Amino acid sequence: MRTTVKKTIGLVAVAAAALTLAVQPSCSTKEEKTIGIQLYSVMDAVKADPEAALKRLAGMGYNAAELVQWGGDPNVFGLPAADFKALCDRYGIEIISTHSSIQEDPAQEEAVMQRWRELFAIQQACGGRYFVIPSYQAEYTVAGVQQMADYFNRVGKLASEYGLKLGYHNHSGEFAQLADSSAVMWEYLVEHTDPAYVFFELDVYWCAKGGKSPVDYLRKYPDRIQMLHVKDDFVIGASGDIDFRGIFDQFYANGMKDYVVEIETPGWLRDKKNADGTPYTQEQILEEMFQAAAESADYLRAADFVK
């Protein structure tokens, strides 16, 4: 009798515990969010000690990254691509994209395309899906931007051979009108590049600073804007000037999901001084950049509009 009672009590306790776990909200929900960061935000730290920087960013909750790959260097932050990817894998960070650019040179078309092939091969080895041109020199005329669009179409077609999508990242200047047309430069570029080969990474901060609405553009070009640069004056969400809720809601409604935080070093931080009047060291500046990255990740992790 006592044995039966003990068994019954034990079964009831197990069932109650299981029920409690079933009805409690999952404590891991926030951790499941994908939060990306453009490594340019703390680039000097990544170059100096890739493992330490990646480990620190992962500890903040970043689990996706966009690289910076300048000048055709076969190494990624000083490491072979496979080794850098292995470090990212170790700390649960997925490489989704990279930034780099090669200016068109019609006199050396094949040499330029060969340099692109080398960059695409590196990104392919890193496992990324996107390759984004962060800036590009062109005359803001119809002819100048059309030439830029034609070049992007050719480079984008080449990128597709490596399983990559070629994108373009804006600053604020692209939202001005062309010199010889009422067309907005960025809109002209979107409408004259081939959707099969070229997409757009909308930097929402620079779009807003250029006098345009990121949400309106997400509505107007739902299939073309496939990545976001999430940016603010410094810490994401701190200024209150960027409609992040509206931006994320529309981005998700468009069926997109890939975004990265980018934190640019503000002028006031570069000019910051210690109590004794000495300028901040590069190490002190980087420490504040890491702190901004941590606070930005906290904001996005807590935001109910970020999946």
pTM above 0.85, yes or no: yes
Residue-wise pLDDT for 268-280, tens only, equals 999 999 999 999 9
Question: Is residue 2 scored above 60 in pLDDT?
Answer: no
Question: Is residue 8 scored above 60 in pLDDT?
Answer: no
Model pLDDT, residue 6: 42
Mean of pLDDT over the chain: 91
Which one is predicted more confidently, 28 or 134?
A: 134
Question: Is residue 39 scored above 80 in pLDDT?
Answer: yes
Most confidently predicted of 21-30, 63-72, 239-248: 239-248
Model pLDDT, residue 73: 78
Indicate the pLDDT class of residue 31, thresholds 50, 70 and 90. Answer: low
Residue 42 DSSP class: G
Burial (CB count <10 Å: 0-12, 13-18, 19+), residue 169? buried
Question: Is residue 214 scored above 70 in pLDDT?
Answer: yes
Q: What is the spatial distance between Cα 72 and Cα 57, in angstroms, rounded to a whole number?
A: 26
Model pLDDT, residue 12: 41
Model pLDDT, residue 70: 75
DSSP string, 60-114: HT--EEEEE--TT-SEETTEEHHHHHHHHHHTT-EEEEEE------GGGHHHHHH
Which residue is it, tokens 């070229």?
Answer: 198
Could you tell me how far CA 137 lies from the centroid of its own chain?
22
Residue-wise pLDDT for 108-166, tens only, equals 999 999 999 999 999 999 999 999 999 999 999 999 999 999 999 999 999 999 999 99
Domains observed in the chain: 30-302 (3.20.20.150)
Residue-wise pLDDT for 42-76, tens only, equals 999 999 999 999 999 999 999 999 999 876 678 99
What φ, ψ does residue 273 adopt, rounded to 5°?
-125, 155
Helices 142-160 and 109-126, packing angle to 10 deg: 50
Indicate the pLDDT class of residue 11, thresholds 50, 70 and 90. Answer: very low
